[in-house]
Structure 1
């Protein structure tokens, strides 16, 4: 029985448009260039940050992030970044008695920004706050501990095969692959994804039907 549904953040709950636009502006390149390069690294199965390394070889992404923050051009989230199905889906799941957790690979600051949005969730945490990140087993072990149940009682929802669907399945969780964002669309029919996903969904509202079955 699914008692907890845990959600990835980027391109699952919030759009990455602002994130990549901010990097494009910081590196002084057109935004469409960054978008194209993100698409290229997605197609290759590389890490998203490799798009930044193509623009500026040798870039220290963490140091550049700190410089952006110090310059007042750091991460920002508001209601316009949230996908339209997020609030109704999360609210419906909680109303049905399902515990809702948001846990993704983001900084501690993003954790604060997400909590400020007052999303319908029982818990919000990021890898920056936990000190462990996907796709490591340690991240999912922490999630299981926070959920307070067994791994098979948790459904992890995300768009990214290598960070979400495959490692969550390996950690014993149930999984739902979301066709959203570059990773979600491009890898939706990959055999490794279809094998690892208990469910494949196009909208978070699909989860309401899943827990009702």
Structure 2
């Protein structure tokens, strides 16, 4: 029985379009160029921030992030960045008596912006707030602590195999791979992903059938 549903953030709840477009604008490069590089480095198993490093070798990304914030060009999130199924699915899960957790690799700033959206969840946290990021096992230990349920009663939902499906499964959680965004589509039919994921879904609304048993 699934008692807790924990969800990734980027390309699970939130489109990443604005995030990468704002970085491209800040760096003065075409948006398509950065988007393509993000896809390339991620498909190679590298950190997606390596796309920025390819464009600006030696860049201090942390310093640039702070400079963007100081210039009023930092992270922004509003309801328009959410996928259409997010609020309906979260509300339905809560109505079904499931504890809903949001936990992903995001900054402290992103955590604050997400809380301002007043999403119907029991707890929301980012790796920047926890001080540990996926795929480190301690991240999933924090997810379990937040959910207050056994690993086998906790479903982790995400689009990225290396950050979501594989480490969550290794931690003993039930896993759902979401065919959404570049990584979700890229690896949706990969045999290893299919084997590791307990469920493969196309929408967050598919979670309702899973928790209903």
Deviation of the 1:35 alpha carbon: 1.3
Deviation of the 1:120 alpha carbon: 1.2
Residue 128 (structure 2) aligns with: 128
Deviations 1:112-134 (A, max 9, x none): 10010011111111111111111
Partner SS, residue 15 of structure 1: coil
Instruction: Write out aligned runs for 1:51-130 (5 A).
Output: 51-130=51-130
1:4 matches 2:4: yes
Partner SS, residue 164 of structure 1: helix
Normalising by structure 2, we get a TM-score of 0.97
Partner SS, residue 75 of structure 1: coil
1:195 matches 2:195: yes
Partner SS, residue 205 of structure 1: helix
Normalising by structure 1, we get a TM-score of 0.97
Structure 1 unpaired stretches of 5+: none
Aligned length: 213
Q: Distance in 2 between matches of 1:2 and 1:61?
A: 39
Give every structure 1 segment of 4 or more consecutive aligned residues whose post-TM-superposition deviation is greater than 6 Å: none
Q: Distance in 2 between matches of 1:171 and 1:71?
A: 41
Q: Distance in 2 between matches of 1:204 and 1:134?
A: 21
Q: Distance in 2 between matches of 1:51 and 1:128?
A: 20
Deviation of the 1:145 alpha carbon: 1.0
Q: Distance in 2 between matches of 1:16 and 1:6?
A: 19
Residue 31 (structure 1) aligns with: 31
Q: What CA RMSD, in Å, does the superposition of the two structures yield over aligned residues?
A: 0.9
Residue 151 (structure 2) aligns with: 151
Structure 2 unpaired stretches of 5+: none
Deviations 1:142-176 (A, max 9, x none): 11111112111100000011111100000110000
Q: Distance in 1 between matches of 2:158 and 2:126?
A: 14
Q: Distance in 1 between matches of 2:126 and 2:102?
A: 8
Residue 174 (structure 1) aligns with: 174
